[in-house]
Structure 1
Amino acid sequence: MANIDKAAIAFSIAIVAVGVAFAAYGGYAQDNAPVAKAPVIVNTEPKTQVDPMAKIAEEVKSAAATTEKTTELKEEVKMETEPVAPVETEPVETSEPKTVSVTIPSGTSSPGCETTNECYTPESVTINVGDTVEWDNVDTAAHTVTSGSPADGPSGVFDSSLVMGKAKYSHTFDSAGSYDYFCMVHPWMVGKVIVN
């Protein structure tokens, strides 16, 4: 076994010797390679020392000039856009009468619509003297549109008599005032017309 160890050591030494020889040859080859020298540029101008704060000072002056111009422009715009007092105008009243629609919804012949004020839709309308209100009965049951209240009864200003299902009734209001109305058949149904 000693012979094998000696042989291994000898082999290792031989490998190291070959490696050293290659390294030496590589260095020799590199030393003999042609060398190209880089050109040297020489600055012949005299060196001037630059103040590092000079550039910052120029930037500050430029920013200040811009701020002054911006302020001047803002002042010009402000002067040009002074608020003008609004001109008050009277509301233009149209002289032509109009018709406002009120619906008598389906299902109002049974109590319950009074809890949501939807027995006449809308429950209250505001119109001008000379305007007309038209009630459209989209229910299948017959209803009335009678001025007054369930507690006091009819006032006699207007009364539709029975308005059958899918029929309409209209009334033109010639006097200002507030007119309550109800259905004589279903007294929980109430509404109001306000005439200006």
Structure 2
Amino acid sequence: MDKVGIILAIAITSVAVAFTATGGLGSMYNITPNVEKISPPVSELEKEALVVKKVTEDIEQVAKEAKQTTEKAQEITKEAVSAKLPAKFVSIPKGTSVPGCDKVDLCYDPPHVTIFVGGEILWRNDDSSAHTVTSGVVLTGPDGNFDSSLLRNGQTFSHMFDKSGEYRYFCMIHPWATGSVTVS
């Protein structure tokens, strides 16, 4: 019950007690002596209402502090986990330069990777042809988040992801080669 509700309940109770104590509408002349009799309970109810208000404020403050502590702990945990995890590895397998790897979704292996914010991915070209790892979508082109330039056989490229989101990438030379990274 909120604070206004508590005060409203006290006021309604006070009116009901006053009405009952005076004998209802039938004895209007006896109101003054009976009002003095109900004053102490109203005073006690006001004190209790103040106590309830203070306890409610304390509970709200504790809840706020608990939420802040929980959020901070989650942030520290993510940082610790990201810092200790090794980079995820993605291979550009042999045969990626020939159309068809996209039919089995293995132009990049694995084609979809999930990491935490602050995580890193290392791509290695295991194909005999040069390739790129370029962020964006083939139809709209590079989006500028990352680009490996040409990777010859055996060369690697790594990128650290500092923001959460879905990052799609492709090979500029072999546009059927696509992959994605989910950062959470």
Q: TM-score, normalised by structure 1?
A: 0.52
How many Å separate the matches in 1 of 2:91 and 2:82? 26
8 Å contact kept, 2:101–2:107:
yes
Unaligned runs of 5+ residues in structure 1 are 1-89
Indicate the residue corresponding to 2:98 in structure 1: 110
The Cα offsets for residues 101-121 of structure 1, whole Å up to 9 and x where unpaired, read as 000000110100000000000
8 Å contact kept, 2:82–2:118:
no
8 Å contact kept, 2:82–2:116:
no
Aligned length: 107
The Cα offsets for residues 162-191 of structure 1, whole Å up to 9 and x where unpaired, read as 011111100000111000000000000000
Indicate the residue corresponding to 2:161 in structure 1: 173
Unaligned runs of 5+ residues in structure 2 are 1-72
Indicate the residue corresponding to 2:48 in structure 1: none
Give the RMSD, CA atoms, in angstroms.
Answer: 1.6
Q: Which has the larger radius of gyration?
A: 1
Q: Which has the higher helix share?
A: 2
Identity %: 49
Q: TM-score, normalised by structure 2?
A: 0.56
Deviation, structure 1 residue 96:
1.6
Deviation, structure 1 residue 97:
4.7
**1:139 and 2:124 are equivalent in the alignment:** no
- Give structure 1 regions of 4+ aligned residues with deviation exceeding 4 angstroms: 90-93
Name the SS of the counterpart of 1:110 in structure 2. coil
